[in-house]
Chains A and B, each alone.
Chain A
Amino acid sequence: MIDVLFDAVVSICQPETLLVLLLATMASLIIGATPGLTVNMAVALAVPLTMHMPLEPSLVLLLALYCSGIFGGSVSAILINAPGTPASAATVLDGYPLAQQGKAGKALKMALAASLAGGLFSVLVLVLISRTVADFALLFGPAERAALLLFALTLVGLLSGHSILKGLIAGSLGLLLSTVGLDPMLAVPRFTFGLLELEDGLSLIPVLVGLFAISEVLLQAETRMRGAIGLDLRQTHDKMLNRLSWGEISASARTIVRSSLIGTFIGILPGIGATVASFVGYGEAKRSSRQPQLFGKGSLEGVAASEAANNAVTGATLIPLLALSIPGDSVTAILYGALLIQGVTPGPLLFQTGLGLVYEIYVALIAANLFMAGVGLAFLPLFRHVTRAPARVLFPIVFVLSVVGAWSVRNNAFDLYVMMGFGALGYVLRRVEVPLAPLLIAFILGVPFEQALRQALVSSDGSPAVFLSRPLSAALIVVTVASLAWMAWRNRKESTA
């Protein structure tokens, strides 16, 4: 075990990998700090680059973008009252009032400390429980796999947006899109319309670049990219006001630990994500605080609560991804795709055949969190410039980078058309508030779900009773139906209230 860990540390500490980590951390802090540029978009744009990189730098690039991007979102939340990522929306509530009081530096340092603590805590939980979960998952047959994937897809559909039905429709559209190409069991073409380019299915990278990057650029175009980003910066240079003392950190320590636990728990569940975690962490901190009256007026505890919770999601979402092969949100779905492209299939077998890689992921996550803290601290004086980036220059550059990224996958014009098509689809869906996460996750999990479902049904001569005759799959089916019924009941109650 120790030798595997040592090998992982050595491979992540190679100079070129560390350089990638440094650059990725810097880039993701800038991207996260820029409202409109989301972590999803950054990770989606980075995936084409990873195709031409060795495995370790690829992992480091994507994980650093993920971890630091979430913290980066707090920068603009604190400085300009505009969360850089949705996960930082709760940070606005206390971060911006602190900035108005001339304590932007203090708020940013607290956000950084809480993000580091939350991120490292969730990595610890990942290390401690993912092996156990994976060992348990090895006992799964096709019926259990199909039931588990059905449960995950249902949960993602139910929890990803404001409307249950829209989430479920997005999920079913994702499943339908996953059937394009050759049938995985009999190699019969489906929905290919005679196009050879579609026989391998819709290529993942153009799909996700279109859904996340192009749709965001089109949404920004609605406002004609006016003004943009830096509007009202109130960070002062008063060193006394902006110093964060140990006393202030220790006063928030309980909040940080509680929020880390909340974020980790929410991160393990598919479909909920960092935004919900930060609000739950914030709400719980306010409820149990000795000074709840300060919340919303510039409470350091409030900043610590939301930031610890949203960063605690980053490591936790990798538990279902690595152990069960289930991505819980859009970013982990993109990470899943990137691993597949690298020839690595996440899932319980990875812990048997590729333990070294699992340890490399652990070490890369720890390194990404530490680099986030170091680079974040060094970047604090520069953040004011980042938040002033003009959108009308930034988003056209994002667009051409998307085109070049989609092209670089297979040097194929067809992929560009797919990217534009999915960009338009993503734009329309976001305008009508249909969540994209269920669509992407169902698109990625569609093929394994179909295989497991068909294998289970074939083994039982077509009888669906196979799902109820095995205890675990029966339990999962019951939980799935119960989740659907509970959410439908809650939705109905809310709409009649």
Chain B
Amino acid sequence: MRSTEFRLGIAFATLALAALLLVPTISNEWRRSTIAGDQFFTLGPRFFPFVAVALMGLFSALLIVSNRRTASRDEPRRPLRAVVAFFVIGAAYVAAFPFWGLLATPFCLGALFFYFGVRRWTTLVLVPIVTTVLMVICFEHVMRIPLP
């Protein structure tokens, strides 16, 4: 099994390659619509993205080469289920937020508390409601930040 560094190098090299393929999609129409390029030397909008992609590709290649013979360390597998669950609940909240606004907040907090093992009903119900009320007071009334 290859080391994490080696696989990381491959991942970033792939990303650099994908970005490299995207660089030519940046329009070059500016050459026709401006005097720049016709009358004096200039550098177009593709220049800097190309530099960044080239650097990423170079460093990724060096990471691959320097770890080509490194074996994978025996690392304990990290539990991903809870992370995925958190991300899914969070993504649902983010999707609901523009439409439901802060009404979605106590449900999200309650769901997260429950998932992570909170069983006392006072914490499950009261903390989300009090947090939401405090957020409304703090953002909308004190700081005058409009929320959905």
Contacts and interface: CB of A to CB of B under 8 A. Distances in A.
Interface of A: 49, 52-53, 163, 165-166, 168-169, 171-173, 175-176, 178-179, 183, 185-186, 188-191, 214, 217-218, 221-226, 392-393, 396-397, 399-401, 403-404, 407-408, 411, 413, 416-417, 419-420, 424, 427, 431-432, 434, 446, 450, 453-454, 457-458, 461-462
A224 B98 contact: no
B100 to A, nearest CB: 12
A222 to B, nearest CB: 6
A450 B117 contact: no
Given A186-B34, A218-B86, A417-B94, A396 B113 contact: yes
Given A175-B52, A179-B48, A186 B98 contact: no
B59 A392 contact: no
User: Which secondary structure dominates where chain A touches chain B?
Assistant: helix
Contact of A403 (B12, B48, B94): B94
A462 B43 contact: yes
Contacts of A411: 146, 148
Nearest to A173: B56
Secondary structure of the B contact surface, majority rule: helix
Contacts of B148: 407, 411
A218 B82 CA distance: 9
Q: Which 4 residue pairs spanning A and B have beta carbons closest together?
A: A183-B45, A396-B112, A175-B52, A172-B56
B79 A222 contact: yes
Given A396-B113, A403-B90, 7 more contacts: A52-B145, A165-B66, A188-B27, A188-B44, A222-B80, A224-B79, A393-B113
B26 A188 contact: yes
A404 B45 contact: no
A454 B144 CA distance: 42
B109 A169 contact: no
A173 B90 CA distance: 26
Interface residues of B, number: 67
Contact of A225 (B22, B62, B116): B116
B98 A52 contact: no
B125 interface: no
A399 B91 CA distance: 11
Interface of B: 4-5, 8-9, 12, 15, 19, 22, 26-27, 29-30, 34, 36, 40-45, 47-49, 51-53, 55-56, 59-60, 62-63, 66, 78-80, 82-83, 85-87, 90-91, 93-94, 97-98, 102, 105, 108-109, 112-113, 116-118, 123, 127, 131, 135, 139, 143-148
A169 B87 contact: no
B19 A52 contact: no
14 contacts: A49-B145, A52-B144, A165-B63, A165-B66, A172-B59, A175-B52, A188-B27, A189-B26, A217-B86, A221-B82, A392-B113, A393-B113, A404-B105, A413-B94
Given A165-B59, A188-B30, A396-B116, A49 B52 contact: no
Contact of B93 (A171, A400, A434, A457): A400
Contacts of B85: 221
B118 A392 contact: yes
Nearest to A191: B22
Contacts of B123: 393
Contacts of B4: 432
B135 A401 contact: yes
Contact of A454 (B26, B48, B56, B117): B48
A218 B19 CA distance: 27
Nearest to B36: A186
Q: Which of B34, B48, B66 is packed against the most chain A CB atoms within 10 Å?
A: B48
Given A169-B60, A404-B147, A221 B135 contact: no
A228 B22 CA distance: 45
Contact of B5 (A163, A419, A453): A163
A431 B78 contact: yes
Contact of B87 (A166, A186, A218, A225): A218
A287 B88 CA distance: 51
Given A169-B60, A186-B34, A190-B49, A404 B135 contact: yes
A59 B15 CA distance: 38
Given A186-B36, A400-B109, A432-B4, A191 B86 contact: no
Contacts of A417: 94
A442 to B, nearest CB: 9
Contacts of A446: 48, 52
Contacts of A393: 113, 118, 123, 127
